[in-house]
Amino acid sequence: MQDRICAGLAATDGKSTFREDSWQRPGGGGGRSRVLTNGGAFEKAGVNFSEVFGQMSPEFAAQLPGQGLDFTATGVSLVLHPLNPKVPTVHANFRYLTKGDKSWFGGGADLTPYYPYREDVIHFHKTWKAVCARHPAPVDYAKFKKWCDEYFFLAHRQEPRGVGGIFFDYLEGDFAALCKFVNDCGNSFLDAYVPIVRRRNDEPYTEAERFFQEFRRGRYVEFNLIYDRGTIFGLKTGGRTESILMSLPPVVRWLYDYQPTPGSREAELYDVYLKPRDWADE
């Protein structure tokens, strides 16, 4: 999955290639981190694979299903930060964990635009709805879409991070069926995102629009450092910090009490797109 996604993204970028760092985790396992920087489309793109195992701290283990401290975790996680503010940031993660007598799948994908285009948001959601429709329960697009809207929410800001997608966790049951679904998600990621990049990457943009993109990236950072389960899991289980924080954008800013100008495209993001909607049905 990592190989396929990286090949597709490098072809889309057209300028830079991924640097790969293989690493070993003290205590068990390791991974491959791949990062592309200063590309033709992506200012920073990271696609990580990891397979780690060992023991959790008793405090952290108590927060997850299953008995004991022993765990294994494997997955692919990616975050893509484009240069052009007309291209949205995207995140996806597909993982499998075991702890004691429990095992489960988790993951999803969500879109974080700065200057949204309606057709792009609809395309992203329709792609994931179609993926879910190919699989039986407990796969449920409406549930996963709602879960995504609720999960990628900055409670301290009382605003969503972006326009959502799908999110699922603690999926248990028929291993083969669920594994097929999660792999279908991973194999559908490029279909969900690359057409948007190709449509928007050559759009002209101003320094003011770039400034707004850097400001909105601050919300992304806040979510990943405060709420993101993958970030917390990696840090709490002794993962490779450089790989865990790969998700952070290279340039970001915080403004005091920013208020968009009424009627502007920046205001449209807040007024129209940062409100959960059934985009796949539009």
| 3-class secondary-structure state, position 117 | coil
123 is catalytic: no
Of these residues, 91, 123, 125, 135, which one is catalytic?
91
SS3 sequence, 194-259?
HHHHHHHCCCCCCHHHHHHHHHHHHHHHHHHHHCCHHHHHHHHCCCCHHHHHHHCCCCCCCCCCCC
| 3-class secondary-structure state, position 135 | coil
Burial 73-109 (b: 16+ CB within 10 A, else e): bbbbbbbbbbbbbbbbbbbbbbbbbebeeebbbbbbb
Cα–Cα distance, 197 to 199 (Å, whole number): 5
> So which residues are the catalytic ones?
91
